[in-house]
Structure 1
Amino acid sequence: METAEIRRRWLSFFEARGHTVVPSVPLPIDDPNLLFVVAGMVPFVPYFIGAEAAPYQRATSVQKCVRTPDLEEVGKTSRHGTFFQMNGNFSFGDYFKEGAISFAWELLTGSLDDGGYGLDPEKLWPTVYEDDDEAFGLWRELTGVPAERIVRRGKKDNYWHQGIPGPGGPCSEIFVDRGPEYGREGGPAVDEDRYMEIWNLVFMQEELSAVRAKDDFDVRGPLPKRNVDTGMGLERIASVLQGVDNLYEIDEVRPVLDQAAEMTGKTYGRAHSHVASESHPDDVRLRVVADHVRTSLMLIGDGVTPGNEGRGYVLRRMLRRAVRSMRLLGFDEPSLPHLLPVSMERMSRSYPELRTDFARISQIAYAEEDAFRRTLASGTTILDTAITRLKSAPSVTEPTTEPTTDAGTTPPPALSLPGDQAFALHDTYGFPIDLTIEMAAEQGVAVDEAGFRRLMAEQRDRAKADAKAKKSGHATSEVWRTLRDQGATDFRAYLELTSEATVRGLVRDGDLVEALEPGQQGQVVLDRTPFYAESGGQVADEGVIETRDGARLRVLDVQRPVKGLVAHTVEVLDTPSGAVRTGSDVLAQVDPEWRLSACQAHSGTHVVHAALREVLGPTALQSGSYNRPGYLRLDFAWGQALSAATRSEIEEVANGALRRDLPVSATTMPLAQARELGALALFGETYGEDVRVVEIGGPWSRELCGGTHVAHSSQVGAITLTGESSVGSGVRRVEAFVGLDAMRHLAAERAIVAELGHLVGARPAELTDRVSALLARLKETERELAAARQEKALAGAARLVEGARDVGGVTFVGHDAETVAADDLRGLVLDVRQRLGAERPAVVAMASAAGGRPVVVVATNDPARAAGIKAGALVRLAAAALGGGGGGKDDLAQGGGSDPAQVPAALGAVENALRERG
């Protein structure tokens, strides 16, 4: 039975039993604790904890999920992957244990002809929480499973929670016996390879306030209603129904693995065993490829683009691990163009949007592979340089053979690459840590993994803290839920700029307070508001809130900490009236100029997006945006830089739309109707049952959007593109000014052109030719000066050779070249070395301070290197005296520093090293 059919049967079964079919939400989730949806119940959390009223009592879904706690472990076992689909059925205060157990048994054991999965009841083993006598009795009563096949287990196995504060409760898991070839007899408590979990029925009845471990947590109290949350791993049940060993061999994954094996000439399952630890390294790499290609396909499909932080970093890392695994398997050419289409063909059977959007998805993925291939080349060079410096740091000479142990074997690496250098390779150049470790080991060098991971953890913690603080003002979810329980905020931003309102709650430093005093900052929650809360790339409104007593609050930011609640971050101005208090009647007033400019920017973003698609084609889809009064930026899928002519064409199309005075409208409609109309959705956004469709000129620009807009396109005023750049593989960014800011920008450029024309004595139309001629003359003059400087420097070479001295048996020339440029200094050093000949060891060291920054160059001849004297080691000694560093090859090296006064000391350090050696 194909995975797509298993999915279809699940949804049909529960829909026929009164469950509302809820589509999967996109993988990215707006939650400070999570990057992606990690469980099928995540979209329903507000209903489980009572923060929102569930719109249905019963629901079912097949939710896309991604978990990435330890990417390095993917493929080492055959049981876990990063992307998976979770079949779920949910009850919100409706049926509980009895209903959940009855539904599960009926679907699992029902005949194939009746829409069931046709599993043998004798092979199913339920488990229950250790003291859940009710669930134990229901399994006996409703299914007839014998008591010896119902296993009681503790918190680690049969109490479910997300790993973060939120809902939880005891659970009942269902295992299937796969047969003696998979392990020992005796049930799930004996062997979970033979007895594989396929379904978990969670009886959600408690809210957890803190979670320290799987079996260590605090219970805040009972949930407002008892709920049911079940989860069946679609990949796991598919492996059972398709008669294969694991998720890598099901119909949605195995074709990618087979394609990778064919491309690399490998045979999957060379050391095949049901025991994961016996997998051949090639099998592990093939599984990494199959898993990461599929996950990357799904993430890009849901709007994630490769980047250096957050979700983008996870995607980048998986794409690069897949490419790296293919290279380790022996395939050095671009691999994703062969693999990604195979994954799309299989996954599009359940997610047809992957096929229609594949041009954008593949463009982003292929560009990332191309970038990584370049990274491999540059990163390898940087890593080699770092290792060379590490090896040569201790002394001028190095042993030519490695020490050995008494047994004659090479000992473990004595040198270790510092964690900060490994982190820089990863963070700056995208070089994977596992690749750094592997390549360093090949050269006998270890890597400070602990230091690297500490820096990674610090980076992640900062990102999480920043995101959480921005969204919630440091307040806990309990604070916002308490305020939300009083009712949703009446959001009036689309209708008015001024609203009379009442203060429902005040928050300061994360806690509810009764008053905010003059000079204090905090969050204000009103029963209604005209302020637009930051969303969809549009910044929040600015303005003031005034009490009847005359207190004035300047609005700094507006956010939605939980769905349905609007929180205004304010500063209480110093007024005689004093504090603002809970229950105060206020007048909330948006700055009208701010709002108008914000509307111009947001409508301008839609116009630029439509212009991009008109000029570049339908694959140039928006992947992110930001707009504030007078300014917009828009990220879109595109694999190469835009030419000046293309940018001009896009700008012309956009301003042509403004000139046509196109009508702008916003209509709320069901999501299905919006999709039928062809409305474009912003990737990564989550949409509800009803959506707001904004049109500019009807079908010319039709997008799902919750922002504020002008009434006619002409009100945008003008659009001036100011920049275009890359923000990631396959993603470009355009920036623009709109309205008065666009006019100010053009006026400033006009003033610059006029000033330049005055300086060079040319009219604006002649500026390009005149400046080009001046630059050509300047370059020619610079070449002449450089030649003169070099001639002057080389003229003194004979004199320097005559002044050579014997230092420790080495012919040594040390010279302070004062202000000779670095390139000229290198030429002079090489010329002197050549004049000294190769009859005996010779070292040339020269330094200069051109431009106030000291530079030192050291060169050695063949006899000197044969004696173990290396230019790189000598230049480091000299550069240290200058307060800097340096490096290079054994024959020629260069360094620098910050203290020109130490040039004599730097040359003296080289001479002393030679003397001590002698």
Structure 2
Amino acid sequence: MQTHEIRRRFLDHFVRAGHTEVPSASLILDDPNLLFVNAGMVQFKPYFLGQQTPPYSRATSVQKCVRTGDIEEVGVTTRHNTFFQMAGNFSFGDYFKEDAIRFAWELITKSQEDGGYGFDPGRIWVTAYEADPEAAELWRKVAGIPDERIQFRDGKDNYWDMGVPGPGGPCSEIYYDRGPEYGRDGGPVADEDRYLEIWNLVFMQDIRGELSPKLGHPPVGVLPKKNIDTGMGIERIALLLQGVDNVYETDLLRPIIVKAEELTGRSYGVEHVDDVRFRVIADHARTSAMLIADGVNPGNDGRGYVLRRLLRRIVRSARLLGAEQPVMSQFVRVVSEQMAPSYPELATDFARIETVAVGEETAFRKTLATGSRLFDETVEEVMAATPAGKTGRISGADAFTLHDTYGFPIDLTLEMASEAGLSVDEAGFRSLMAEQRQRAKEDAHARKHAHADLSVYKELVDRGDTEFTGFDELTSEAQVLALIGDGVRVPTAVAGTDIEVILDRSPLYAESGGQIADRGTITAAGTKLTVNDVQKIAKKLWVHRCTVDQGQITEGDVVLAQVDPAWRRGATQGHSGTHMVHAALRQILGPNAVQAGSMNKPGYLRFDFNWQGQLSERQKADIEAVSNDGVGADYPVNTFVTDLPKAREMGALALFGENYGDRVRVVEMGGPFSMELCGGTHVGHSSQIGPITLLGESSVGSGVRRVEAFVGLDSYRHLAKERALLAGVASMLKVPSGEVPGRVEQLVDRLKAAEKELERTKVAAVLSSAGSYADAAHRIGEVLLVAAAAPEGVAAGDLRTLATDIRGRLGSTPAIVVLLGNNEDKVPFVVTVNKAAQELGFAAGALVGVFGPSISGRGGGKPEMAQGAGSDPSGIEAGLAAVRNHIGAHAG
């Protein structure tokens, strides 16, 4: 049975049982506890936490999930995956244990001809919480499972909670016996490879306190309504029904491995080391494509860093398997072909997914090249400092720097070090990695406890949506539904206090979609509040964050809510200007230049988009020109509400990663010129945006660029400043404004020529001192030594030239030159050793270790030349003395 069919049968089974089918949420949800959605119940958390009333009593879904805690274990075992599909059925105060057990048993044991999965009932085992004999009795009653196939386990295995105070309850897990060829007899408590867990039923009935029942602590209360939360692993069902050993051999992942075999020339199933790499490619390629489809872009922190790490592990694994050519495009194409029947966005949005993945691959291939050069330099330093006959060792700190700073994977460091005849302090590296992970865990733990308590808003959310009137008017009469101060409901608020005001209707726009909130006032007789911010709760309740300026406000008051008209005018210009710039970007750069984020406020816009590489001056000029052509065309701005599928069919653009409802608002400017899903406020005609002046373009992460612009009066003001600046420069140069660029170019050319001449003079002056240094060389045994401080301010490059010239003047006699500079609190240094001195056992790199500590310096190089820098000029004389003593002790 194919995975897509397994998925469909689950949903159909529960829909027939009266459940509402709920689509999978995006992998990215606005939850401070989670980097990614990692369980099927996540999108239902507000219902389980009592923050919102569910719109249905029964629900079923197949949720996209990503768990990243064990990335390093992916591929090493066949049990770890980053992306998986969690099928679940949920009851919100409706049915409980008996029905949950009955629904699950019917689906897994019903024949395939009748729409079930057809598992042999005699091979099903279950576990129950040790303090929940009721569950065991129900398994006997409903399913007829004998006592010998029911096992009890403690809270670590069979109790569930969210990890923080809140709802929880005992679990009952369903296992399938794969047979003696997979492990020991004795049920799940004996061997969870043979007895594979396929479904977990959570009976949510308790209120957990600060200490979890998972660790033996009793619940602090009972939930007023008992709930059901279950999770069935689609991939695990697939491996059983398809008769394969692990998920990597199922229909959705095996084709990726086949493609990797084709690209690398290696075969899966021959060597464990290669198999690990094949599995990494298969797992990470699927996860990466799903993350990109939901709006994640590679970056240096958070979700972006996880995606970057996954993509880089693919490239690394393919390289270690022997693939020298780019591979990412072909891998994500296979993922799209396999997964699109369940997730059609992988096909419709494939061009963007491919562009992001290939862009990161291209960047990482360059990183590998840079890392290889840095690795080579590290090897030179190690070899130079290693005595003859000894095996050099790359320190854990250097290996960690290569990995953490330059993205150079540790296994490549190990591989290349072995080729160079060196070892690596892997224990030191692992220790530093462990410290980094610990910091990440502490950050995650802090984030877990940062979940805002929204229960104070629940009654208001349940009451219904705030009516937003701001599309049609700037002033609305409204009633005060609630006042909230310091997280609790209060009856009244007086002058001088900050308060959250909930109104039944409001013209003030609540921040969303990149548009910041309106500013305005709330007034009544003798009362005035300044509205500083407006935010949404549960996407439906407007929360006005205000300061009471005069009088007092009381729950139940009838008030006037008013938008600052100047603010709104500027805000609409900024938001409509954003749409214009987006349309221009796609027209100039193509359809892959899609939105990755935005922010607009009165007179200003910032727009992030997916793109590889810096924009040219011509491209920026064209984007500005097309944007202003749209302004000048005076397009009418039309808005309408329609069904999401119809909006997509019309070509309306959506923000990736955003969750839309069934009904969406479309903003259209100039027909096909610009059409986007958007809930923001806009001008009536495009000419009202005013001029758009592009300020600049920059990178905000791998594959993501940012443009910024002024609009309207702010654009005029900016252009006026620019004009005044140009006039000032023209006056200083005594040329007309039109001739300023040419005149400046002439001045720059003359300045460059003068700098080059100055540099030549400086180098000549430095080299002229080479003879005096050579004449002052000290003979120590067989060696001529020049150990001296260079002229102050000499650059590192000139220092190297001077040292080489001095060495040449000393002829074929064994000679060593050590020069230490003093350049603005930096101590650049160069050590050079001629061939005759090298034959006596001296090496430039080793000498760095003699004087380096005195100047807090590090460096290295080859036996004949080493260089670097220190940070302590006060140690120069001590360092030179150390060199003289060292040569004296070893020159014979």
Q: Taking structure 1 as the reference length, what is the TM-score of the superposition?
A: 0.88
In the other structure, the counterpart of 1:315 is 307
Write out aligned runs for 1:656-735 (5 A): 656-735=629-708
The equivalent residue for 2:799 is 825
Partner of 1:29, secondary structure, is: coil
Structure 1: stretches of 5+ with no match in the other structure = 272-279, 404-409
Q: Give the structure 2 partner of residue 355 of structure 1.
A: 347
The one-character-per-residue Cα deviations of 1:676-732 (angstroms, maximum 9, x if unpaired) are 333221111122333332222344322222322222222211212222233334333
1:276 aligned residue: none
For structure 2, which runs of at least 5 residues remain unmatched after alignment? none
How many residue pairs get matched? Answer: 885
1:560-639 alignment to 2 at 5 Å?
A: 560=536, 562-569=538-545, 588-639=561-612
In the TM superposition, what is the alpha-carbon distance from 1:294 to its structure 2 partner? 0.7
SS in 1 for 2:267: coil
CA separation of 1:566 and 1:908: change in aligned 2, threshold 3 A? farther
Residue number among 447, 453, 456 corresponding to 1:476 in the alignment:
453
Structure 2 SS opposite 1:113: helix
Does the alignment pair 1:443 with 2:420? no
Query: Which digits, 9 at most, give the CA deviation of each residue in 1:646-672, with x for residues without a partner?
Result: 222222221111122222233333333
Give the CA deviation at 1:514. 7.8
Q: CA deviation at 1:516?
A: 7.6
Q: Distance in 2 between matches of 1:449 and 1:558?
A: 47
Aligned 8 A contact 1:423 1:456 in 2: no
Look up the match of 1:275. none
* Aligned pair partner of 1:454 in 427, 435, 450: 435
Cα distance 1:496–1:759, how it changes in 2: closer, same or farther (>3 A)? same
Which one of 744, 754, 775 corresponds to residue 802 of structure 1? 775
Other structure's SS at 1:35 match: coil
For residue 61 of structure 2, give the secondary structure of its aligned residue in structure 1: strand
Q: State the shift of 1:312 in Å.
A: 0.7
1:742-753 equivalences under 5 Å are 742-753=715-726
Aligned ranges for residues 374-393 of structure 1 at < 5 Å? 374-383=366-375, 385=377
1:838 aligns with 2:819: no
8 A contact 2:213–2:219 mirrored in 1: no
CA distance in 2, matches of 1:685, 1:7: 24
5 Å matches for 1:412-561?
416-418=395-397, 425-432=402-409, 443-446=423-426, 447-458=428-439, 475-479=452-456, 481=458, 489-498=466-475, 500-502=478-480, 504-508=482-486, 529-543=506-520, 555=532, 557-560=533-536
Is the contact made by 2:126 and 2:172 (CA closer than 8 Å) also made in structure 1?
yes
> Are 2:366 and 1:368 aligned?
no
Alpha-carbon offset, residue 607 of structure 1: 1.5
Displacement of 1:31: 0.4
User: Which moved further from structure 2: 341-350 or 524-533?
Assistant: 524-533
| 1:883-898 aligned within 5 A | 885-897=858-870
Partner AA of 2:323 in structure 1 = F
Deviates more, 1:676-685 or 1:476-485: 476-485
Query: 1:580 deviation in Å?
Result: 7.4
Does 709-718 or 34-43 show the bigger shift? 709-718
Residues 127/846 of structure 1: CA separation in 2 closer, same or farther (3 Å cut): closer
Query: Using a 3 Å threshold, how does the CA distance of structure 1 residues 282 and 216 change in structure 2: closer, same or farther?
Result: farther
Q: Which moved more, 1:242-251 or 1:697-706?
A: 697-706
d(CA) in 2 for partners of 1:28, 1:154: 33
Report the 3-state secondary structure (helix = DSSP H, G, I; strand = E; otherwise coil) of the residue aligned with 1:206. strand
Distance 1:127 1:380 in 2: 52
Residues 841-863 of structure 1: per-residue CA shift (max 9 Å, x gap): 322425354x6755433322223
More displaced stretch, 525-534 vs 165-174: 525-534
Query: Which residue of the partner structure matches residue 180 of structure 2?
Result: 180
The alignment partner of 2:113 has SS state of coil
Do the aligned partners of residues 771 and 879 (structure 1) sit closer, same or farther apart at CA in structure 2, a change above 3 Å counting?
farther
| C-alpha distance after superposition, 1:428-484 (max 9, x if no partner) | 433346656776785333334334443454367558868987xx7xx5344555775
- Tell me the residue number matched to 1:294: 286
Question: Matches of 2:117 and 2:501 in 1, distance apart?
Answer: 53
Q: Does the 8 A contact of 1:530 with 1:590 survive in 2?
A: yes
Q: Tell me the equivalent position of 2:821.
A: 847
Q: Deviations over 1:768-820 (max 9, x none)?
A: 33333332232223222222222233233223222211246531222532344
Q: 1 CA distance for matches of 2:757 and 2:659? A: 63
Question: What CA deviation, in whole Å up to 9, does each residue of 1:290-331 have, x standing for no partner?
Answer: 100111111111111111111111111111111111222222
Q: Which amino acid aligns with 1:361?
A: I
Q: Per-residue CA shift, 1:563-605, capped at 9, x if unaligned? A: 44444555677x7x6x878778766554333332222212211
Q: Tell me the CA shift for residue 498 of structure 1.
A: 4.7
Q: 1:569 & 1:430 partners in 2: Cα distance? A: 44
> Is the 1:664–1:711 Cα contact (8 Å) retained in structure 2?
yes
Q: Which amino acid aligns with 1:828?
A: L
The CA RMSD over aligned residues, in Å, is: 3.4
Q: What secondary structure, in the 3-state scheme, does the structure 2 residue paired with 1:30 have?
A: coil
1:485 Cα shift? 6.5
Residue aligning to 1:160: 160
SS of structure 2 residue aligned to 1:54? coil
**1:407 paired residue number:** none
Pick which of 486-495 and 2-11 moved more.
Answer: 486-495
Aligned residue identity for 1:847: G
Structure-2 change in CA distance of 1:92 and 1:552 (3 Å): closer
Structure 1 residues 512, 900: CA separation in 2 closer, same or farther (over 3 Å shift)? farther
- Give the drift of 1:249: 0.8
- Measured after TM superposition, the shift of residue 898 of structure 1 is 5.7
Contact 2:381–2:862 (8 Å) recurs in 1: no
Counterpart CA distance in 2 for 1:778 and 1:884 is 35
Note if contact 2:635-2:687 (Cα within 8 Å) is conserved in structure 1: yes
Contact 1:860 1:892 in 2 (8 A): yes
CA distance in 1, matches of 2:211, 2:138: 30
The letter for the 1-side match of 2:34 is L
Find the aligned partners of 1:42 and 1:530 in 2 and give their Cα distance.
32
Map of 2:834 onto structure 1: 861
| SS of the residue 1:649 aligns to | helix
Equivalent pair of 2:105/2:143 in contact (CA under 8 Å)? yes
The percentage of counterpart residues that share the same residue type is: 53
The 5-angstrom pairing of residues 227-376 of structure 1 reads 227-270=227-270, 280-376=272-368
> Distance between the aligned counterparts of 2:500 and 2:374, measured in 1?
49
Partner-residue secondary structure (3-state), 2:65 = strand
Q: Cα deviation per residue 1:29-71 (whole Å; 9 max; x = unaligned)? A: 1100001111112111222233222222222221111111120
- For 2:410 and 2:663, locate their aligned partners in 1 and report how far apart those are by CA, in whole Å: 45
Matched, 1:130 2:130: yes
Q: SS of the counterpart of 2:767?
A: helix
Deviations 1:322-374 (A, max 9, x none): 11112222223222123221221111122222112111101110111111111
Report what 1:786 is aligned to. Answer: 759
Pairwise CA distance, 1:288: 1.0
Cα distance in 2 for residues equivalent to 1:615 and 1:847: 52
> 2 CA distance for matches of 1:51 and 1:380?
53
Residues 819 and 702 of structure 1: CA distance in aligned 2, closer, same or farther (over 3 Å) = closer
Rate the CA distance shift 1:826–1:761 in 2: closer, same or farther, 3 A. Answer: farther
Report the AA paired with residue 303 of structure 1. G
Would the alpha carbon gap of residues 226 and 466 (structure 1) be closer, same or farther in structure 2, given more than 3 Å must change? closer
Tell me the distance in 2 between the aligned counterparts of 1:529 and 1:468: 32
Q: Distance in 1 between the 2:493 and 2:412 partners?
A: 54
CA contact 2:470–2:506 (8 Å) conserved in 1: yes
Contact 1:155–1:214 (8 Å) recurs in 2: yes
Cα 1:213–1:53 shift into 2, 3 Å? closer
Shift in CA distance, 207/536, structure 1 to aligned 2, threshold 3 Å: farther
